[in-house]
Structure 1
Amino acid sequence: MIRRQLIKETLENLGVITEEQLKEALRLQRESQMRFSEILVRLGFLTSENLSSILSSQLGIAPLALGNIQILPNALDSIPPSFAKRHRLIPLNFELDRLICATDNIFNFLAQENLELLLQREISLILVREDELEGVLEKYYGSKKEDLDSIVQEIDESEVSKSKEATLTLEEEAPIIRLVGLIIQEASKNRASDIHLEPLKDRFRVRYRIDGILHEVQSPPKSLQSSIISRIKIMSNLDIAEKRFPQDGRMKIKADERELDLRVSILPGMYGESIVLRLLDRTTLNIDELGFSKRELEEFERIIELPNGIVLVTGPTGSGKTTTLYAALNFINKPDKKLITIEDPVEYQLAGINQVQIKPQVGLTFANGLRSMLRQAPDILMVGEIRDFETAQIAIQAALTGHLIFSTLHTNDAPGAITRLIDMNVKPYLVASTVQAVLAQRLVRTICRECREAYQPTREEMAVLEIGAYAIGGISFYKGKGCSRCNHTGHRGRTGIFELLVLKDELRSLITSKASSTIIRDKARQFGFRTLREDGIEKIKSGITSIEEVVRITQPLVV
């Protein structure tokens, strides 16, 4: 009321609007939720520019053009976006310990006081035009888009929609639908690979896995836990009444004109069902975007175009094996070839490829599925994983009869995959005659290009990597100092590091004689074989990743 009365008296004293216009504006304000100043502009009694100029001059404040003011990124980061949009504030810059904010409502004393309590610093407000503020809010915070706070405030928990939609998009109107959509959309925007929705004793936690690291984000209230879980079950065609057993599903969603594939895993826990959503990014399915060096890429492309044999990809869970296999299949997927895969589960749905998901409960295992697939007269087969002797034996027989087989193993390095097959009781001469190559890989975070800076590595860092001073002449080393674009981690995005073991005749002879993986590795070096750590060191020298990342992910060099 102070604000409206002050505006009313100021305008009356200046005679810029008539008494009838003031009465009309007051009547409309009583009937609506709009601000008094907004009504004056909407009715055409004043322009926003005139109103801003009049009020600022009466209060002794010179009007400012927001477009001419530099907005500092660290100032923008100091206020939660939901607060800025709700109270129509744009943080501009710092003057000593004071934060300067632009607003079209300098009478918003409550917001000013709340912000001072939140940031524990003095806040100064400057008046700007409403239309300019709208443009800047939209640019930096997306003022026309919803945030979690605004949706939660709207939700009436007793009227949560649970209807099943034929087509699922992120623009549905029911609040819970939009809330779940927002969680997924923000994850996609932040390049997350997984969304973790975790019921805890006193809260419902949401975390995004970004570049392999979990980050906690703003979470909805605990009271909405059941509604959110039910919505996700509906979207992935799961049983919303089943809360005793784990469930797995998948969904497709449109967000920002993109179609996202999501794999859903639900696990019952002490405080409710925990959900993990895996976001599957189709844009990474190009073989030349995986991180191969030029030499490795040419060699790998040559191998996957061979007419027969076995190509293995090894590494721990989360090292990118499936992505590499899909990229290889995409590369060789041509109309004159028949490709069939058997997977657990099918992650990406690939056009032109027959994909099968194993179902052990009905007897469809990797071994049984592979046996049946061979009756389909395929050219190329992909087996999700060789887990036992039976699967390995069928894969080898398929390779011997003119098929190209792709599969994965869980071993630490490429030579270890050879001895792992032999440990499964596969005859060494069969391994030697069918395996064409083994690719071991890991994922390392890449240095953020926005904040990377050159530095001189310490002697300890060089010793850990076993790099001598002679090997770094003229090379610049980089690390990220952290910025808002990389969430102050110094890293943004990931790339692969690889060791590609191509079986030459000399190596096949060693395998037949049951040589150890160390002997196989030493012999492979004569043909240009490079270990994971050595490939990582090359990416360090190229400014792609950091020393700490390569040390974290790889084992010491073995000479």
Structure 2
Amino acid sequence: LRLAGNQIDVRVSVIPMIHGEAVVMRLLHQTGTVLGLDRLAMGDREQHLFRETLGLSHGIVLVTGPTGSGKTTTLYAGLQEINDSERKIITIEDPVEYQVKGVNQIQVNEKTGLTFARGLRSILRHDPDVVLVGEIRDAETASIAVQASLTGHLVFSTLHTNDSPSALTRLVDMGVEPYLVASSVDAILAQRLVRVLCPHCKEPDDSTETREVLGDTIQAFRGVGCEQCRQTGFSGRRAIFELMDMREDLRRLVMEGCSAGQLREAARAFGWCSLYEDGLRVVGEGATTLAEVLRVCKAGLTEDEG
């Protein structure tokens, strides 16, 4: 599909319902440029640590979150930072959403037997420096990714978990030995997408409910609705993040089989901030509402945050 000179891929899902068919279409702008890290609007700490992680020669970097939370966009932004003639980058994806110059991209095709696991095995025979696995779906793929990281490759992939600490326990639950998780994973970035307030109609939110949560330290805003945003009060989306970088204390806790909650508490000693806390930063910037942050973070809130 071409629209206004731009190449657009359309992913269509159709489900038969009792009153007709339900159709969902996802539009992917193939001719658009991949966002750089600066465009993702991470917090200073998260951006600094993520850039440090991109400079590693080996290890695993995980991006976690639900479907449609922007994980692929973040992974591509990371790859773009290190996409030069000195590194050989190979990806295996399902599907390839964006074509990136200088990156060797493979699309999964389970009908022909090209799964993530089989494709990853083949990739490692091509002497890559950086490997991107679209998703770790099973124990076999997880095991190969770990072995790849331990043999001198920098591996990027995604998982579906509520927060960054849970990604570590998820790998253990999939059958990866705790000592292998501890020695291979270097960073986990969890994220969600929140709607951005329309700049044309947003106004200060001084409601009692908002003040009870934020106090007087953060000025919140809300969307009124106007013609520019079609009366929704919002225009566009952006991500909120939490990044857990694996310090030695955290690696030790993983080897000891500690829970996600224990890992979360230990990470706070190193300045780790939750998705909810990063969401409050975005609220303070006037970019979104408290209600939006609570909506996307509800499943991962601790008792203190909730």
Task: Give the match for residue 399 of structure 1.
Answer: 149
From 250, 254, 269, the equivalent of 2:16 is 269
Task: Tell me what 2:171 maps to.
Answer: 421
What's the secondary structure of 1:486's corresponding residue?
A: coil
The answer as to 2:116 corresponding to 1:366 is yes
Contact 2:131 2:156 in 1 (8 A): yes
Q: What is the CA-CA distance between 1:294 and the residue it aligns to?
A: 2.1
Unaligned runs of 5+ in 2: none
Identify which of 523, 526, 531 aligns with 2:274.
531
Contact 1:263 1:347 in 2 (8 A): no
| Superposed CA offset, 1:356-393 (max 9, x none) | 11111111110000000000110000001111111011
Aligned residue type for 2:14: L
In 1, Cα distance between equivalents of 2:291 and 2:39: 23
Matched AA of 1:497: I
For residue 376 of structure 1, give the secondary structure of its aligned residue in structure 2.
coil
Gaps of 5+ in 1: 1-251
1:547 aligned onto 2:290: yes
Q: Which residue of 2 aligns with 1:438?
A: 188
Aligned-pair distance for 1:266?
5.2
CA distance in 2, matches of 1:283, 1:349: 10
Could you give the per-residue CA deviations for residues 35-83 of structure 1, whole angstroms, max 9, x where no partner exists?
Answer: xxxxxxxxxxxxxxxxxxxxxxxxxxxxxxxxxxxxxxxxxxxxxxxxx
- Aligned-partner Cα distance in 1 for 2:288–2:296: 12
Counterpart Cα distance in 2 of 1:293 and 1:383: 26
Does 2:57 align with 1:307? yes
Query: Which residue does the alignment assign to 1:353?
Result: 103
> What SS does structure 1 have at the residue aligned with 2:125?
helix
Letter in 2 for 1:548: A
Residue deviations 1:126-165, cap 9 Å, x none? xxxxxxxxxxxxxxxxxxxxxxxxxxxxxxxxxxxxxxxx
Question: What do residues 495-538 of structure 1 show as CA deviations (whole Å, max 9, x unaligned)?
Answer: 10011011001110101101100000000001010001111111
Q: Which of the residues 482, 486, 492 maps onto 2:235?
A: 492
Q: TM-score, normalised by structure 2?
A: 0.93
Change (3 A) 1:540 1:268: closer
Match of 1:461 in 2: 210
C-alpha distance in structure 2 between counterparts of 1:558 and 1:511, whole Å: 23
Higher helix fraction: Structure 1 or Structure 2? 1
Distance 1:540 1:319 in 2: 18
Paired with 2:282 and 2:178, the residues of 1 have a C-alpha distance of 35
Offset at residue 263 of structure 1 (A): 2.9
Count of paired positions: 299
Q: Residues 310 and 399 of structure 1 are in contact (CA less than 8 Å); yes or no, is this contact kept in structure 2?
A: yes
C-alpha contact (below 8 Å) 2:75/2:156 kept by paired residues = yes
- Quick one: distance in 1 between partners of 2:33 and 2:22? 28
Q: Is 1:534–1:557's contact at 8 Å kept on the other side of the alignment?
A: no
Structure number with the bigger relative contact order (C-alpha 8 A, sep ≥ 6) is 2
Contact 1:266 1:273 in 2 (8 A): no
CA distance in structure 2 between the partners assigned to 1:455 and 1:273 by the alignment? 41
* 3-state DSSP of counterpart to 2:228: helix
Q: Judging changes above 3 Å, is the alpha-carbon distance between structure 1 residues 268 and 542 closer, same or farther for their aligned structure 2 residues? A: closer
Kindly state the Cα deviation for residue 541 of structure 1 after the two structures are TM-superposed: 1.3
SS of the residue corresponding to residue 398 of structure 1 reads helix
Correspondence for 1:73: none
Q: Identity across aligned pairs (percent)?
A: 50
SS in 1 for 2:187: strand
1:284–1:290 Cα contact (<8 Å) kept? no
- Deviation for aligned residue 1:326: 1.1
Tell me how far apart the structure 1 counterparts of residues 252 and 176 of structure 2 sit (CA, whole Å): 16
2:37 pairs with 1:290: no
- SS of the aligned residue for 2:287 comes to coil
SS of 1:484's equivalent?
A: coil
Q: Deviations over 1:307-351 (max 9, x none)?
A: 110000000011111111111111111111111111111111111
Partners of 1:291 and 1:446 lie apart in 2 by 12
TM-score under structure 1 length normalisation: 0.52
Inter-partner Cα distance in structure 2 for 1:502 and 1:266: 37
What code does the residue aligned with 1:443 have? Answer: L
Q: Which residue, out of 324, 336, 339, partners 2:86?
A: 336
Q: Which residue of 2 aligns with 1:279?
A: 27
| 2:140 aligned residue | 390
Distance 2:259 2:127 in 1: 36
Are the equivalent residues in 1 in contact too, given 2:34–2:80 (CA < 8 A)? no
- Correspondence list, 1:509-520, <5 A: 509-520=252-263
8 Å contact from structure 1 (residues 262, 277) kept in 2: no
Residue 277 of structure 1 aligns to a residue whose secondary structure is: strand
| 2:221 is the alignment partner of 1:478 | yes
SS of 1:436's equivalent in the other structure is strand
